Structure 1
Amino acid sequence: MMQNVKINSYQFLILVIFFTIGTSMLTVPSVLATDSKQDAWISAIFGMGIGLLIIWLFITIALWFPHLTFTQIIEKVFGKWVGKAFSVFFVLTSFLFSSELLYYFGSFLNIHALPNTPTVVLNILMAGIVVMGVRLGLETIARTAEILIVVFFFLFLILVVFISPEINFENIQPVYEMGTKKIVQASLFYVVVSPVDAVVLLMIFPSFINKMKNVKKSFLIGNLIGGIIIIVITFLCVSVLGAADTTRQVYPSYELAKKINIGDFVQRIEALMSTLWIISLYFKTILYFYAAVLGMAQILNLKDYRPLTLPLGMIAVTLSLVIYPNVIYQQKFDSTTGNSLSLSIGLFLPLLLVVVYAIRKKQLKKEA
């Protein structure tokens, strides 16, 4: 029943764009500026290039068994018991990240927009539409993305055009002062939080896509477009706010929107600009949650994943409220444990899959 769901390559491309942007739009410029100062936007370019190589690795793995999801591929290559152990780790990590994004959503709105609203209420509201979307299915999620991508790019264009007069090119000079080594090291954060985490999209790609013709291009182009948006946002943050101010801000792109002032008339539209982040965050959250729920259903050999959505959604809300006691802990966790988990499921596990597949290739082809 689950295998009957199909989306087209264009819809998948849009989902890749939203997933790539996700939380990166708000958090990446600050971290990149901390390590590579005014060259943060160059670090984003390097990160996008490295990320495309990782996406190519994911495509290669997925096309070994184009009719299987990532958890099924893991079980196929590693064997039943070892494969299930790795699949459980992948599913639990995806679920943890979906809870983490609920925290981001509630925390951001509580600080900047709705300070008198309890965080638990905001998290429940977000979790509610995430659970609703997953229950309605992947096709509904993809069609919604098709509509909201127009809204997203319209608002993004407004942001770029309106903030352009505030650009100060002195803020990005001298260019390339930090040197290649420092710039590449800084870019690794972007690689971890965006392309590496895109491994969860293998729960969709290519088993739930109806035409294989352009499917590889969709994955690569979607990641490329998302990467370009992050590069533009990072460039604007550094060139408008300056490297020092970008480093100090938790959400520099939100502060960027506050600088918009056209003729003392168009100003204070940062609440409207936050819609950009909320849209992309929603789709990143729902894709993590979908991967976790679908993966769990496949591990348990269930015919339908929908009975798991509500209980897992309730657990996700609870976890989102206790996962981070405060912002300092959150930043420490993300830079240590969070990055380790991302690398484990998004880099080390795929590379291990490649090694084991190379060893067992003949046997797996006979079984097929």
Structure 2
Amino acid sequence: MNGKEEINMRQFLLFLFLFVIGTSILLSPSTLAYVAKESAWLSVVGAIIIGSVFILFFLLISIWYPEQNIVDLNRLLFGKWVGTVFSLLFILFALVSAATVLWTIGNFMITQMLHETPQPFTHMLFMFVVIYGVYLGIETIARVSELFFPYVALLLLVIFLFSIPSIDLNYIKPFFNTGTQEIAKSAWFDLSVSTFPLVVLFMVYPKLVQDKKKVARKVTLAYILGMLTILAATFITTSVLGVAYTSHHLYPTYVLAKTLNIEGLIQRVEVIIAVSWILTIFFKLSLYFYAAVTALSQVLKMKSYRSLTFPLGVFVIALSLIVYPSSIYATEWNQTTWIYYSATFGVLYPLLIAIATFIRKMLKRY
């Protein structure tokens, strides 16, 4: 693995923000409205509170091991053989996650924009860009995030601001009427999409990040801003389109953009807005893929990960074509299996690291 790559804290914060909103801004409003009904926005508030605690826990682990990534930690805490097994499971998680994200963007394109285009072609076209970006390195991807972030933020701001006049609070009344169990379940789903997968960023932070000053405040703020974006998307889609329509449409934020007609001058704004979502998904997919490629190169003790980018990229394309047989299956899998699969690596695995660290420190004392 090439250990000379480095990014600055600002670039990592952009990674964090873009990763959090990634697919969440497209998928979360629908599922949250389906489970929590009128309290969908409230479940995001709960997810922000709980997620901030997880972020601080992730930061605590990075403070304990400032020069190690996931593979280094596995070898250090669990030994050569068990650590290698954990690393391989982490790589599998990153690859499966990358395949699901690739399927999402492919399905979005063929159902909403490129109706006559074969889905495998959209997968290949999008993934080859990701492969090339990861081949160039994390520094290149970081510079691209700096270049495109203002456009992403501006386009999202446009859709939110121009949707405000169409908000009807009657769509989300009565307030606080949904049961606590439904709100908690939908909050857990939101965390499984936006927060728990952040564990893959341990392949980037803290080992490759410079200037780690006032980290807790900066990282937590970037995370909260990302979650507030999801909150805004959820609140606006449910209050403009209605809970029933939002819950029955796979991509309600795109439908929301289609309803915009800015002062009668700008129409078909949804295509422009879709660019911002495509960019956020690109960065989320790139970080998943980068984590898998670099982790595997470390396990295999290769000098550089770049020779793995193309074969693993082809594997992700093939996996993306079979991971979800249909959109109905994808929705069901995301609401059931994915929640526990994501929590295994985003909750149980960090806890295991903390327990192993505590045991290791106790053994050193004696």
The reply to whether TM is greater than 0.5 is yes
Alignment gaps of 5+ in structure 2:
none
**CA separation in 1, counterparts of 2:254 and 2:163?**
12
The range that moved more, 257-266 or 161-170, is 257-266
Map of 1:341 onto structure 2 = 341
1:150-188 alpha-carbon deviations (Å, 9 max, x no partner): 000110111112211111121122221114443223211
What letter is aligned with 1:268? R
Secondary structure at the counterpart of residue 261 of structure 1:
coil
* Deviations, residues 56-91 of structure 1 (Å, cap 9, x unaligned): 111111221111111211221111111111110011
Matches within 5 A, 1:23-102: 23-102=23-102
Question: Would you say the 8 A contact 1:9–1:214 is kept in 2?
Answer: no
Q: Separation in 1 of the partners of 2:333 and 2:128? A: 26
User: 1:193 corresponds to which residue?
Assistant: 193
Q: Quote the offset at 1:261 in angstroms.
A: 2.1
For the 8 Å contact 1:52–1:195, the answer to whether it is kept is: no
Residue 323 of structure 1 corresponds to 323
Q: Does the 8 Å CA contact 1:48/1:227 hold for their aligned counterparts?
A: yes
**Quick one: which amino acid aligns to residue 28 of structure 1?**
S
Find the aligned partners of 1:364 and 1:169 in 2 and give their Cα distance: 59
Deviation at 1:216, TM superposition (A): 3.2
TM-aligned CA distance change 1:291 to 1:365, over 3 Å: farther
CA distance in 2, matches of 1:217, 1:290: 26
Alignment-derived partner of residue 115 in structure 2: 115
Q: Which runs of 5+ in 1 are unaligned?
A: none
What is the rounded CA distance, in whole Å, between the counterparts of 2:295 and 2:365 in structure 1?
A: 24
Q: Percent identity?
A: 37
- Partners of 2:40 and 2:235 within 8 A in 1: yes
Aligned to 1:247: 247
Q: TM-score, normalised by structure 1?
A: 0.96
8 A Cα contact 1:12 1:142, kept in partner: yes
- Structure 1: distance between partners of 2:298 and 2:68: 11
Partner Cα separation in structure 2 for residue 214 and residue 140 of structure 1: 25
Question: Match for residue 216 of structure 2?
Answer: 216
SS in 1 for 2:124: helix
CA distance in 2, matches of 1:181, 1:248: 21
Counterparts in 2 of 1:223-234, with a 5 A limit? 223-234=223-234
Cα contact 1:133–1:286 (8 A) shared by 2 = yes
Deviation for aligned residue 1:49: 1.1
SS of residue paired to 1:340? helix
Kept in 1, the 8 Å contact 2:26–2:253? The answer is yes
Residues 218/302 of structure 1: CA separation in 2 closer, same or farther (3 Å cut):
farther
Distance 2:337 2:33 in 1: 22
What secondary structure, in the 3-state scheme, does the structure 1 residue paired with 2:212 have? coil
Q: Which residue number in structure 1 is paired with residue 157 of structure 2?
A: 157
CA drift of 1:254 comes to 0.8
Within-5 A mapping of 1:164-183: 164-183=164-183
The alignment partner of 2:286 has SS state of helix
For normalisation by structure 2, the TM-score amounts to: 0.96
CA distance in 1 between counterparts of 2:152 and 2:302 reads 36
Rounded Cα–Cα distance in structure 2 between residues aligned with 1:193 and 1:364: 38
Q: Is the 8 A contact 2:261 2:269 kept in 1?
A: no
Letter of the structure 1 residue corresponding to residue 339 of structure 2: N
Return the alpha-carbon distance in structure 2 between the equivalents of residues 325 and 33 of structure 1. 24
Once the two structures are TM-superposed, the CA of residue 219 in structure 1 deviates from its matched residue by 2.5
Q: 2 CA distance for matches of 1:281 and 1:22?
A: 5
- Compute the RMSD of aligned alpha carbons: 1.6
Residues in 1 aligned to 2:331 and 2:240: alpha-carbon distance in whole angstroms: 24
- Say whether the 8 Å CA contact 2:18–2:226 is kept in structure 1: yes
Contact 1:22 1:283 (8 Å CA) reproduced: yes
Question: What's the offset of the Cα at 1:268?
Answer: 2.3
Instruction: Tell me the matched-pair count.
Output: 366
Question: Per the alignment, do residues 132 and 200 of structure 1 end up closer, same or farther by CA in structure 2, a change over 3 Å counting?
Answer: same
Q: Which amino acid in the other structure matches residue 177 of structure 1? A: N
Q: Are the aligned partners of 1:5 and 1:208 in contact in 2 as well (CA < 8 Å)?
A: yes
Q: Does 1:290 align with 2:290?
A: yes
Shift >6 Å, 4+ stretches: none
